[in-house]
Each structure stands twice: as C-alpha cells, then as structure tokens.
Structure 1
Amino acid sequence: MKQIDRSPIKNNNLEPYISCKDYTVSNKIFSISIDKDSGLLITNPQPKEDDLGKYYESEDYISHSDTKKSLVDKLYHWVRNFTIKKKVRLINSFNSDYRSILDIGAGTGDFLAACKNDGWSVTGIEPSEKAKEIAYSKLADSKIKIYNDIQDLELKSYDVITMWHVLEHVPNLCEYVSKLKELLSTNGTLIIAVPNYKSYDANVYQEFWAAYDVPRHLWHFSRKSISQLFEQENLKVEKVLPMMFDSFYVSLLSEKYKRGKSNMLKAFWIGLISNIKAKTTKEYSSLIYIIKNV
C-alpha cells in the first residue's frame, strides 16, 4: 500500500465528545472525541490493531455468527433478507456492462450469494474464519474467493465495491480509502454504508446509542466527514440514500442498553420519529453514500 501523509484528524484538533460502554464483549468504558474541523468522531484511544479481534469474540456479534437465538436476532435476519434484495437492485441500477463486485466485510455471505445468483462476478473480504466458513457454504462455488485482506487483490479490478457498515471498523482509515480507489475500475462505484451520529435516534439515546458500538467502531461519521475523507482521494459523494430500517433496529438495541431490557414499542416509536424527522433533515440513522471518481 502506498504511503500517504494525510490523516482523518485535522490539526489534531480533538475535543471530548461522549463516553460509551462496550455492551457486547468487555463492558469497558471508551471515550469518543470529535475533530472539530471535519466533524469526524474517533474512539479514543483506539485498541491496538492486534487486540481488536478479541472485541469480536461473542455470539452476540451477529454478522459473524448467524445466530437466531433472541427476538432481536430474528428481526435482524428478517430485515437483512429484505434489504439484501434492495441492495442488489441498487447495484443493478449502475451500467449493466459492469458486473464485477467486491464486498468488503462479507460476513456470513448472504449479500455475496445474492449477487452471485443475479449474475455478478463476486469477490469478498472477510477476516473472520468462522464467518468465512458459513459464507462458503452459502456460495457453493469453489472458484469464488473470500480473502482476508485487500492487499491480496488486483488493482483496477472491481466495477462496484461495497462496504455495508464496515468503514467504521477500519484501523488505518486514510490508507484504506486510498487502497479502495486503487482497486476500483475507471468508471467504478463505491457504496459505503455507515451509521450517522447526527440522527435523531443518536441524539435521543446519547451514550446508549447502539451504533457507537465501541471499540469495534473506531470512527463515527457525518455527511461532512465522509465527504472530506473521500475528497482527499479525488472521490466524490454523488448521492446519499437512507437505510430506513436501521433506526428501528438500533433503537431496539439502544433501549436494551439503556434500560437493561427490550422495549419494542418505545424503540419502534423512536425509530419512527427518527425517520420522519429525517425526511426534512436528511439525517437518517444510517446512510448509504454513492461515491465515484471525480
């Protein structure tokens, strides 16, 4: 990977923003700081890269386990199956001549399998061996490769690169964005989905907002910080789309974190209000950024 001297933090201009608890694995408290220039939030200090893996070692980390034990798990799978169809329609809305896709953070392979079944040439990135094993069982094709790291891939090879709630997990943020540009074909498209800390539900739940998910989420984005981050590589946000279901799912988890138990009615109400307000503010709980070369 080429060396660049840019940093996601402008002038090291950090101020305390909020402190949150890791409810999934460690029960530790982590601080989040804000870079005043870009609006980027940073989990601070971030765990060392070699230590990050232990914070994913939980059956509750659903994207790696496919578990369906709780009501929240079952709702997650129902919503995921519905939204995967919408994601495939989204990538199909691009030029039909471009049919090579890289999904980074492939998890248990459901999106890759749906793309494969729709005629796409698919490649995945997934560091979790457990998740990768499940993904291969769904793909049922020995020619499909799921790699551990983007360093193993050929440059200018992918017409579409997707990261569904993955960018917030990446340790070396600017270097990673630089590599994404190198992997993208000339007229290719990046699709980046991340939580939005400026949403109504984030404001309501504050330190209990489940989408902070410290320390697995190293970065926390707004529209401004995403635009500035990709502009450094001459990549432009061309369109921003909402992820409507996220406000309900995140609110359901947030209620559990805040009160120690689920409250579906309250979570549904907060999620609904968040989406209604976002029709005006455009600050949905999670946003999908469509990004192209300038």
Structure 2
Amino acid sequence: MTERLVKCPLCKSGHFLNYQEIKDFAVSKEVFLLNKCADCQLIFTNPRPTEDAIGPYYDFPDYYSHQTQAKSLTHWIYNQVKKKNLREKLSLIESLTQEKTLLDYGCGAGDLIQIAQNHGWKVSGIEPNPGARQIANQKTKNRVKESIKELKKNKEYSIITLFHVLEHIHELRKTVKKILTHLNSEGYLIIAVPNPESWDAKKYGSLWAGWDVPRHLYHFNQHSIQQFQQIFNLNLVDQKPMKFDSYYVSLLSEGYIEEKASMIKRYLNAVISGYQSNKLAKTQNNYSSNIYIFQKK
C-alpha cells in the first residue's frame, strides 16, 4: 500500500516538482519517484509505501545496521569500521556534556547505547524493529522501547541521537516535535544524514546507493538542514563529516553499476571515489554524510 503526499513533509509547502526516478536495487527492483520542494529543497519519495507496508523493503541480507554476525568480507569491514565509529560517537557526546543521559532514537541492535552504558551513561533507546530491539535489550538490560510514546512524559536527556534515522521516519514533523520534548534545555540533538549534493552522489547519479529508496524517505542538503533548524526552533552549533560513508556508499554504488564486476574492481573504484569525495568535500562540508549538532533556542 502506498500514500501520495500533497505537501512537503518538512515545510508543508505545496510547491514541489518531480526530481528523479530511482530504482530500489536492494530488494524490490521497483522504481520510485523523488520530488523536490521548491521552498526548503527537501527531496522526498512520493508516492511512498505506508508505514505499515514498508517493512518488507528492509528484508534483505545486506541490511547491515541490524546485523551482528559478519556474513561477507564487506560485512566484516563494515563491522570493523562501525566499531571505530562507535568510539568516535562516544567521544563526541562526552565532549558536549557532563550530564550523562542519552536517548538513541532508532538504536538498531543497541551498539551505541551499550558502549555509552559501559562508560557510565544512563541510556534509553527507541527501536521499532522487533529483532533488533530484542538484541539491544539483551545488551543493555532492557533499556530499549518500541516507540517514543512509551517514555515517561517528563523524561529528559542531555543528548538525543539519530544516526542515519531521520530519513526513515514517516511522520517527520510530528516525531521530531515529540523527540524535542525529551531534550533538556541545555541538551544537544545530534542527527546524521546522507548528503545528495556530495561528490559521490553527483558521480553516481541515479545509481548512488545513498538514495536507498524506498527505505530513505527524505534527502537533506545544506539548505534543507537550515530550514529544519528554523522550523523546529533550533540552533545548528556544529557540523562534522562521516568520512567512511563515502567509501561504503561508493562500494554499494559500484555494485549497482556492474553487478558482475569482481570484488577487487569494486573495492578499488570505491576507495578512489571515497577518497576523492572526502577531498573535495572539505571546502563546503559536502561530505557523503554529515553529522549536525543542534541545541534548542
């Protein structure tokens, strides 16, 4: 079942145009239409599967974020880099506040909240996927809920993170507003999203793995992030790159270009593309994925 949007999911403008058709290479092989808002520049899938109908689109072996065991060389490399990224994420949140309370929205298998909990943080997670939620609860002694609605209304956190999660949320405005009710007045909202204006996105075009339709419902550029902070009354206090993403997305994109290409060729091309993307991103912060750090005004 699909739904057609008549307004931009971010700014509610009715002024948007067809942008591009993108194929779901990972699961369905269906083609989805992207629209681009003329006002806030958000790119969004329209029409899109409903929240109740999108589950099967996540059902494929290479959806790594909920996996714990390496099943291929790519998966093993992904897990090694994930461990490094977890240390960097922990270092980031610990640099921002002395009050160690963390909510990880879309926590997957609970890796971030587990490592934070081991370093003295009081943690909570939100994860709708039942399999991932079960794993996360085993790691964190049942600190993960299915929905944010299950949190106590007066529960607040000094850090709320959404690492590659915002682009998956159907009720975008409603959910962000709800999340912000749980952020304390001095706290930080940390969001990481892919960047459709990165060099690797432009290189691969419709074959860019960062589109990841229909799982990725939205795509934020620098302008739409600025609009995001205005709409939700936030201050963007810092921005950081996720440099590994250019290599990983390039590797997946290389597979879409030539499915029968050798893994050596894919890895070599991905390393070259990832390096080039990061090199050219330095001037305007147009990395393959960016981390945005907000505070309430």
TM range (shorter): over 0.9
Within 5 Å, which residues of 2 pair with 1:167-178? 167-178=166-177
1:207 match: secondary structure: helix
State the Cα distance separating 1:232 from its structure 2 match: 1.3
**What corresponds to 1:24 in structure 2?**
26
- Kindly state the Cα deviation for residue 151 of structure 1 after the two structures are TM-superposed: 1.4
**Structure 2 residue aligned with 1:124:** 125
Give the deviation of 1:44 after TM superposition. 1.1
Instruction: Determine the C-alpha separation between the residues in 2 that align with 1:224 and 1:171.
Output: 21
Q: 1:74 aligns with which of 73, 76, 82?
A: 76
CA distance in 2, matches of 1:39, 1:6: 9
CA distance in 2, matches of 1:31, 1:108: 31
Q: 8 Å contact 2:156–2:183 — kept in the other structure?
A: yes
TM-score w.r.t. the length of structure 1 is 0.93
Q: Secondary structure at the match of 2:49?
A: coil
Give runs of ≥4 in structure 1 deviating > 2 Å.
136-139
The Cα offsets for residues 118-177 of structure 1, whole Å up to 9 and x where unpaired, read as 1100100011111122223333x2xx4211111111345111000010000000111111
**Match of residue 109 from structure 1:** 110
Show the 5 A alignment for 1:272-283.
272-283=275-286
Which shifted more, 148-157 or 215-224?
Answer: 148-157
- Which whole-Å deviations, capped at 9, do the CAs of 1:56-108 have from their partners, x for residues lacking one? 12222111222411221111101100010000000000121x11100011111
1:238 match: 237
Residues 109 and 134, structure 1, Cα contact 8 Å, conserved in 2: yes
Q: What is the distance in 1 between the residues matched to 2:171 and 2:285?
A: 28
SS of the equivalent of 1:188 reads strand
Identity of aligned residues (%): 41
The code of the aligned residue for 1:231 comes to Q
CA drift at 1:37: 1.4
RMSD (Å), alpha carbons: 1.5
For residue 281 of structure 1, report the CA deviation from its aligned partner: 2.2
Within-5 A mapping of 1:253-268: 253-260=252-259, 261=261, 262=263, 263-268=266-271
Q: Write the mapping of 1:87-236 to structure 2, written as runs, cut at 5 A.
A: 87-96=89-98, 98-139=99-140, 141=141, 144-154=142-152, 155-236=154-235
Amino acid at match of 2:143: K
Amino acid at match of 1:94: L
- Do 2:70 and 2:76's aligned partners in 1 also have CA atoms closer than 8 Å? yes
Residues 59, 67 of structure 1: 8 Å contact kept: no
In 2, the alpha carbon distance for the partners of 1:71 and 1:51 equals 31
1:250 aligns with 2:253: no
Any conservation in 2 of the 1:8–1:174 contact (CA below 8 Å)?
yes
Q: Is the 8 A contact 2:11 2:231 kept in 1?
A: no
Number of aligned residue pairs:
286
Q: Is the 8 A contact 2:8 2:37 kept in 1?
A: no
Amino acid at match of 2:57: Y
Larger CA deviation: 119-128 vs 174-183: 174-183
Q: For 1:153 and 1:230, locate their aligned partners in 2 and report how far apart those are by CA, in whole Å.
A: 24
Amino acid paired to 2:72 = S
Which amino acid counterpart does residue 130 of structure 1 have in structure 2?
Answer: G
Q: Which has the higher mean CA deviation after the structures are superposed, 56-65 or 190-199?
A: 56-65
Distance 1:284 1:198 in 2: 8
Letter in 2 for 1:109: G
* SS of match in other structure, 2:214: coil
Gaps of 5+ in 2: 1-6
TM-score, normalised relative to structure 2: 0.92
